[in-house]
A and B are shown apart, each in its own frame.
Chain A
Amino acid sequence: MAYLELNNINKTYGQGENANEVLSNINLHIEEGEFVAIVGFSGSGKTTLVNIINGLLKPTSGEILFKGNPVVDTSRERGVIFQNYSLLPWLTVYQNISVALKETFPKASKKFREERAKAYIETVNLTASIHKKPKELSGGMRQRVAIARALAMDPEMIIMDEPLGALDALTRGNLQDEILNIWNNDKRTALLITNNIDEGIYMADRIIPLRPGPNATLGPEFKINIERPRNKTLLNDNLEFKKIRNQIMEYLMEIGQERITANSIEYQLPDIEPKTFY
Chain B
Amino acid sequence: MSDKLIKLVRFIGLGFLEPIIRLSKGEETKKNITLILKKIVAPLASILLFLLIWQQGSDALFNIEANYRIEKAFKEQGQEAADEMKLCIESGAIKCQPNTFPTPSQVKYSFYSLLKDHKIINADKKAFIEKTAELNKQRKKAGKKSLVYTGRPSFVDQIGTSLKTVFAGFLLAIFIAVPTGVVIGLSETLRSSINWIIQIFKPVSPVVWLLLVFMVVKTITKDSDIDSSFIISFISVGLCSMWATLVNTVMGVSTVDKDIINVAKVLKLGPVQKVFKVVLPSSLPLIFTGLRITLSVAWMVLIAIELLAQSPGLGSFVWEEFQNGANDSNSKIIVAMFVIGIIGFLLDRVMLTIQKFVSFNKN
Asked if A99 contacts B267 (CB within 8 A), the reply is yes
Within the complex, the shortest CB–CB distance from A73 to chain B, in Å, comes to 8
CA distance A123 to B292 in the complex (A): 44
Asked if A133 contacts B360 (CB within 8 A), the reply is yes
Asked if A56 contacts B262 (CB within 8 A), the reply is yes
Within the complex, the shortest CB–CB distance from B117 to chain A, in Å, comes to 50
Within the complex, the shortest CB–CB distance from B266 to chain A, in Å, comes to 5
CA distance A56 to B268 in the complex (A): 11
Q: CB-CB < 8 A to A74: which residues of B?
A: 265-266, 268
Main secondary structure of the interface of A (DSSP, over half): loop
**How many A-B pairs fall under 8 Å by CB?**
53
Within the complex, the shortest CB–CB distance from B277 to chain A, in Å, comes to 5
Given contacts A103-B268, A103-B269, A135-B363, contact A88 B281 (CB under 8 A): yes
CA distance A91 to B267 in the complex (A): 15
Within 8 Å of chain A (Cβ to Cβ): is B361? Answer: yes
Which one of A79-87, A169-177, A186-194 is at the interface? A79-87
A99, closest chain B residue (CB): B277
B269, closest chain A residue (CB): A103
Given contacts A88-B277, A88-B278, A135-B361, contact A54 B266 (CB under 8 A): yes
Interface hits, B252-278 → A, CB 8 Å: 259-260, 262-263, 265-270, 273, 277-278
Q: CB-CB < 8 A to A149: which residues of B?
A: 267
Given contacts A88-B281, A99-B277, A103-B268, contact A82 B260 (CB under 8 A): no
Within 8 Å of chain B (Cβ to Cβ): is A89? Answer: yes
Give how many B residues have a beta carbon under 8 Å from the other chain's beta carbons. 19
Give how many A residues have a beta carbon under 8 Å from the other chain's beta carbons. 26
CA distance A99 to B276 in the complex (A): 11
CA distance A82 to B278 in the complex (A): 17
Within the complex, the shortest CB–CB distance from B173 to chain A, in Å, comes to 24
B278, closest chain A residue (CB): A88
Asked if B268 contacts A90 (CB within 8 A), the reply is no
A155, closest chain B residue (CB): B266
Q: CB-CB < 8 A to A55: which residues of B?
A: 265
Within 8 Å of chain B (Cβ to Cβ): is A102? Answer: yes
Asked if B267 contacts A153 (CB within 8 A), the reply is yes
Asked if B263 contacts A86 (CB within 8 A), the reply is yes
Within the complex, the shortest CB–CB distance from B257 to chain A, in Å, comes to 9
Asked if A90 contacts B259 (CB within 8 A), the reply is no
Asked if B260 contacts A91 (CB within 8 A), the reply is no
Within 8 Å of chain B (Cβ to Cβ): is A110? Answer: no
Interface hits, B73-115 → A, CB 8 Å: none
Within 8 Å of chain B (Cβ to Cβ): is A180? Answer: no
CB 8 Å contact bits of A72-108 with B (1 = contact, 0 = none) = 0011100110101011111100000001101110000
CA distance A104 to B259 in the complex (A): 20
B360, closest chain A residue (CB): A90
Q: CB-CB < 8 A to B259: which residues of A?
A: 82, 84, 86
CA distance A68 to B53 in the complex (A): 83
Main secondary structure of the interface of B (DSSP, over half): helix
Within 8 Å of chain A (Cβ to Cβ): is B362? Answer: yes
Asked if A88 contacts B260 (CB within 8 A), the reply is yes
Asked if B262 contacts A103 (CB within 8 A), the reply is no
Within 8 Å of chain A (Cβ to Cβ): is B282? Answer: yes
B361, closest chain A residue (CB): A135
Q: CB-CB < 8 A to A135: which residues of B?
A: 361-363
Asked if A86 contacts B363 (CB within 8 A), the reply is no
Asked if A103 contacts B361 (CB within 8 A), the reply is no
Within the complex, the shortest CB–CB distance from A6 to chain B, in Å, comes to 19
CB 8 Å contact bits of B281-319 with A (1 = contact, 0 = none) = 110000000000000000000000000000000000000
CA distance A54 to B268 in the complex (A): 12
Interface hits, B327-363 → A, CB 8 Å: 360-363
A75, closest chain B residue (CB): B268
CA distance A135 to B362 in the complex (A): 8
Within the complex, the shortest CB–CB distance from A158 to chain B, in Å, comes to 12
Contact of A82 among B263, B268, B360 (CB under 8 A): B263
CA distance A88 to B269 in the complex (A): 13
A106, closest chain B residue (CB): B270
Q: CB-CB < 8 A to A82: which residues of B?
A: 259, 262-263, 266
Asked if B273 contacts A90 (CB within 8 A), the reply is no
> Which residue among B263, B269, B273, B362 has the maximum number of chain A CB atoms within 10 Å of its CB?
B263
Q: CB-CB < 8 A to A87: which residues of B?
A: 263
Q: CB-CB < 8 A to A91: which residues of B?
A: 277
Asked if A88 contacts B362 (CB within 8 A), the reply is no
Within the complex, the shortest CB–CB distance from B252 to chain A, in Å, comes to 14
Within the complex, the shortest CB–CB distance from B362 to chain A, in Å, comes to 6
Asked if A56 contacts B267 (CB within 8 A), the reply is no
CA distance A74 to B363 in the complex (A): 28
Besides A82-B263, A84-B259, A99-B267, 5 new A-B residue pairs in contact (Cβ under 8 A), listed by A number: A82-B259, A88-B260, A88-B263, A104-B268, A149-B267
Residues of A within 8 A of B (CB): 51, 54-56, 74-76, 79-80, 82, 84, 86-91, 99-100, 102-104, 133, 135, 149, 153
- A selection of 9 A-B contacts at a CB cut-off of 8 Å is A74-B268, A79-B266, A80-B266, A82-B259, A86-B263, A91-B277, A99-B269, A104-B268, A135-B363
Residues of B within 8 A of A (CB): 259-260, 262-263, 265-270, 273, 277-278, 281-282, 360-363
Top 7 A-B residue pairs of the complex, sorted by shortest distance between their CB atoms: A90-B360, A90-B281, A80-B266, A100-B267, A86-B263, A74-B265, A86-B259
